[in-house]
Amino acid sequence: MVQDMFTDQDIRQIGDHGLTLEEVNRQLDIFKMPLPYLDAHRPCTVEDGIKIINMEEMRVLMEIYEKEAPKRRCLKFVPASGAASRMFKNLLKFLNRGKKVIRESVAAEAGGANKDAQDLLTFMDGIRQFAFFEDLKSVISRSELDMDTLLEKGQFTEIIRFLLNETGLNYAGLPKGLLKFHGYPEGSRTAFEEHLVEAASYVADRNRECSLHFTVSQEHLKEFEGLLDKVGPVYEEKYHASFHVTFSMQKESTDTLAVDLENMPFRQKDGKILFRPGGHGALIENLNDLEGDIIFVKNIDNVVPDRLKPDTFKWKKILGGYLIDIQSRVFSFLKELSSGAPDDAFLDRVIDYVKYELCLAVSVAKEKAPAGEKRTFLMETLNRPIRVCGMVKNVGEPGGGPFWVRDKSGGSSLQIVEMAQIDPDSQMHQDILDASTHFNPVDLVCGVSDFEGKPFDLRKYVDPSAVFVAQKSKDGKDLKALEHPGLWNGAMARWITFFVEVPIVTFNPVKTVNDLLRKEHQPA
């Protein structure tokens, strides 16, 4: 019994987390089961799950969005709690060696084909091109050091230390959203600021109010709020808009229990059980709390300077127009289905739409069912959240992509699948993974209200089995960690889904600090 496994203190700790013994039991059972790999039976490709928008369709969809969006509650949802430390993994590695970092020794390693050393030299050679350079130079000078002298002498230790540690800019301790990404003649902008600027062009309502929501960590909330107070009025004046910005934290009740390698609750040094954050899939709770009709979802680090923003704006409107166009058709069907007793011809037409436009399986039994049963089936099938997901052609980026996935009943659906969800020991599934042509850039437009304007309870459309189990460690001991179904993976598995090819120019993530040296992140 689960109760026998836990002390009274454990049970109080579970309750303090907002969890129940029933939920903890469910999580423990997952660890004991075979890893829940998905049955991806083929990758989505152009015209086989991925839609190509032609020029005329682009024009029409943009017009639809520009006309209809101001009548709806549109907002932008940005997961922004991730620490930037991974951006500086390479620099931290050199800093933590415990010896001075000097150009001569780094160059020697670089000449020996050491990629870490080569990347460090790239960083130092391009350091004046970073948007944070002047801030770094200033903080170094306050310690009676000179940036130019340090660079001339090849003394890198202090430069890295002042960039990353609390003695300086503390960039390794901040989230990406608070880092300066792009330089402009009037000053530099953080990733957070770039999202504000973007929002003014495609989520403004008829009163020019722009709604944005950022998920952040509790420890950095005040810094985000302080930055908003400082720059918000500047951008409101510049873009003739007002910003309604809200923040939330990942809920503690979405944390998951960690276990040891024997699938027993992991115990910390003080004897307490260990809970860990449940991954970005936990943010479905935050998304569910928002009041809106159309929600754009985009990662915090996928932003570009103003000179490249027009393509972003264009494709956001195309995807938004595509969603609105789909909704108009689906909502018209639902209104007819809910109004009375539609005739057989209408029901057959809707079934064809479900099969051929929504790419959802309809059993022969459902097709031949009595009208009342068929109507109920169609209502349940159509009355769900809808998402339109931009997909880019593969460019070698790690991460998930669009696939056709079989469910337990034998039907298939369009899903965004992470590599970790594919069985590494199945050659067939690995071949399917290798054959994929497109990549998920996290470019989603979500319809979260039903045909009557009521909000969906998004938690009802999660596939709870689509979890991730990862190997981690704590205090030098190995453990297994459970992550909830990913936000755009299993957390949206039961949504109506469409994939649309978008150009690679709309995808410019910053995974390492040197990505900011790419031409896409530099001034013209």
Q: Per-residue pLDDT tens for 95-120?
A: 998 889 999 999 999 988 899 999 99
Helix (H, G, I), strand (E, B) or coil at 254: helix
What's the pLDDT tens digit per position in 360-384?
Answer: 888 889 999 999 999 999 999 999 9
Tell me whether residue 191 is exposed, middle or buried, using C-beta atoms within 10 angstroms of its C-beta: 0 to 12, 13 to 18, 19 or more: buried
Is the confidence at residue 396, as pLDDT, over 80?
Answer: no
CA angle 55, 60, 64 (to 5 degrees): 145
Q: Could you tell me which residues are beta bridge partners of residue 391?
A: 501
What's the pLDDT tens digit per position in 453-468?
Answer: 999 999 999 998 888 8
Measure the CA–CA gap between 332 and 452, rounded to whole angstroms: 11
The residue ranges of every structural domain in the chain are: 92-173
Helix (H, G, I), strand (E, B) or coil at 282: helix
Is the confidence at residue 69, as pLDDT, over 80?
Answer: yes
pLDDT class for 397, splitting at 50, 70, 90? Answer: low
What dihedral angle (degrees, nearest 10) is formed by the CA atoms of 152, 156, 158, 162?
110
386 or 398, which is more confident: 386
Amino acid at 174: L
Measure the CA–CA gap between 228 and 231, rounded to whole angstroms: 5
Return the half-sphere exposure (C-beta side, CA atoms, 13 A cut-off) of residue 364.
0
pLDDT of residue 35: 77
Measure the CA–CA gap between 76 and 65, rounded to whole angstroms: 15
Alpha helical stretches, state H, 340-426: 344-356, 364-367, 371-382
From the list 401, 365, 411, the residue with the least C-alpha distance to 488 is 401
Specify the pTM.
0.93
Structure tokens at 154: 């090849």
Residues 6+ apart with CB under 8 A from 333: 350, 353, 378, 382
Amino acid at 335: K
Q: Please identify which residue in the block is written with the tokens 């001569």.
A: 104
Structure tokens at 317: 């409107």
Measure the CA–CA gap between 145 and 125, rounded to whole angstroms: 19
Q: What is the mean pLDDT of the chain?
A: 93
Asked if 350 contacts 337 with a C-beta cutoff of 8 angstroms, the reply is yes
Is the confidence at residue 409, as pLDDT, over 80?
Answer: no
What's the pLDDT tens digit per position in 20-40?
Answer: 999 998 999 988 888 778 899
pLDDT class for 6, splitting at 50, 70, 90? Answer: confident
Q: What is the CA radius of gyration of the chain?
A: 25
DSSP letter string, 124-168: HHTGGGSTTHHHHHHHHHTTT--HHHHHHTTB-HHHHHHHHSTTT
